[in-house]
């Protein structure tokens, strides 16, 4: 999946007549002139709930900033020690009958030491599942996070589900935190503490809200990292990853083109040799 951002100053809800307000995917639609033609098709709310690899899902800049911050903080807290891996913008396929894949904003998965280049994390194949999922709501799609995923993630056996809920539809963000813990197969919502913070159990961190963004705190109540610094480093890491992926894509395309040219040259050479044999009467 790929996230496309809209400016933070734009209205929270795109016009209802915008068919691409949730995002889009590219679908093969061959034409007489181009057998490889791809058509841009708008996503539905159901598509956002159960995305496919390669979908472009529209989020605000603030949504993406919080996602990068949480991902960077949780990775710093958990991955160096090998306690868990932290995935963001990665699709997850469950091992539960009739439960289709989701695309959480952030998920923490214990039992996996090394992060791989997953586009889809398959629970059945990897033998591990998230202990924590964090979703950051967007005004257009928040019903997915507030209602449907509460039931789905409980069925999937995710021990803690935290929602960073943007309650504003226009203008400044108004955030609240919702904390669900799995008990006897169903989620029970827990109230925040006296400071309106939620305990992220697997990371032993506290999540709170400052202004229009989230902040993590350690066990002593100190903010975990400078928000701006963490976000900047996360952005730089994402840019490096995108550049590396683009470089790998170009190299693969060049190798493929070279292989096609080589195959065509070899085919032409065989055809010439066959023609020479025919002219010599050897065929």
SS (H, E, C) the chain: CEEEEECCCCCCCCCCCCCCCCEEEEEECCCCCCCCCEEEEECCHHHHHCCCCCCEEEEEHHHHHHHHHHHHHHHHHHCCCCCEEEEECCEEECCCCCCCCECCCEEEEECCCCCCCCCEEEHHHHCCCCCEEEEECCCCCHHHHHHHHHHHHHHCCCCEEEEEEECCCCCCCCEEEEEEEEECCEEEEECCCCCCCEEEHHHCEEEEEECCEEEEECCCCCECCCHHHHHHHHHHHHHHHHHHHHHHHHHHHHHHHHHHHHHHHHHHHHHHHHHHHHHCCCC
SS (H, E, C) 235-281: HHHHHHHHHHHHHHHHHHHHHHHHHHHHHHHHHHHHHHHHHHHHHCC
d(CA 20, CA 18): 5
Fold of 59-225: tt1808, chain A (3.90.1570)
List the domain boundaries for the chain.
59-225, 228-283
Which residues are CB-contacts of 42 (< 8 A; sequence separation ≥ 6)? 19, 20, 21, 22, 23, 24
d(CA 107, CA 202): 11
Q: Which residue has the higher pLDDT, 177 or 247?
A: 177
How far from 53 is each of 57, 101, 107, 124, 173, CA to CA, in Å?
11, 10, 17, 18, 29
Instruction: Give the pLDDT confidence score for residue 277 in this predicted structure.
Output: 80
pLDDT digits (tens, 9 = 90+) for 63-106: 999 999 999 999 989 998 899 999 998 999 999 999 999 999 99
pLDDT digits (tens, 9 = 90+) for 122-158: 999 999 999 999 999 998 899 999 999 999 999 999 9
How far from 231 is each of 67, 113, 139, CA to CA, in Å?
9, 24, 23
Please state the rounded mean pLDDT for residues 233-254: 69
pTM of the complete model: 0.75
Instruction: Give the pLDDT confidence score for residue 96 in this predicted structure.
Output: 96
Length of the chain: 283
Let me know: does 131 contact 225? Beta carbons within 8 Å.
Answer: no
pLDDT digits (tens, 9 = 90+) for 180-215: 999 999 999 999 999 999 999 999 999 999 988 999
Q: Which residue has the higher pLDDT, 224 or 52?
A: 52
């Amino acid at each position: 999946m790929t996230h496309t951002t809209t400016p933070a100053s734009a209205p929270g809800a795109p016009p209802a007549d915008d068919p691409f307000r949730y995002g889009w995917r590219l679908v093969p639609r061959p034409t007489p002139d181009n057998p490889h033609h791809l058509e841009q098709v708008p996503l539905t709310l159901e598509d956002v709930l159960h995305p496919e690899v390669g979908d472009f899902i529209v989020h605000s800049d603030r949504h993406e900033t919080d996602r990068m911050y949480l991902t960077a903080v949780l990775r710093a807290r958990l991955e160096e020690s090998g306690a868990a891996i932290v995935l963001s913008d990665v699709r997850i396929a469950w091992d539960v009958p009739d439960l289709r894949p989701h695309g959480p904003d952030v998920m923490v998965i214990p039992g996996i030491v090394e992060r791989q280049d997953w586009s889809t994390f398959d629970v059945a194949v990897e033998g591990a599942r998230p202990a924590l999922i964090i979703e950051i709501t967007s005004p257009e799609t928040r019903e997915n996070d507030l209602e449907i995923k509460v039931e789905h993630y409980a069925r999937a056996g995710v021990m803690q589900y935290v929602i960073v809920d943007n309650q504003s539809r226009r203008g400044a963000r108004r955030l609240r935190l919702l904390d669900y813990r799995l008990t006897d197969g169903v989620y029970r919502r827990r109230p925040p503490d006296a400071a309106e913070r939620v305990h992220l159990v697997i990371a032993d961190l506290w999540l709170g809200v400052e202004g229009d963004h989230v902040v993590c705190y350690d066990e002593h109540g100190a903010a975990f990292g400078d928000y701006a610094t963490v976000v900047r480093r996360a952005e730089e890491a994402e840019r490096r990853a995108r550049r590396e992926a683009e470089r790998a894509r170009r190299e693969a395309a060049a190798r493929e083109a070279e292989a096609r040219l080589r195959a065509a040259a070899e085919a032409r050479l065989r055809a010439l040799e066959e023609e020479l044999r025919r002219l010599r009467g050897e065929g």
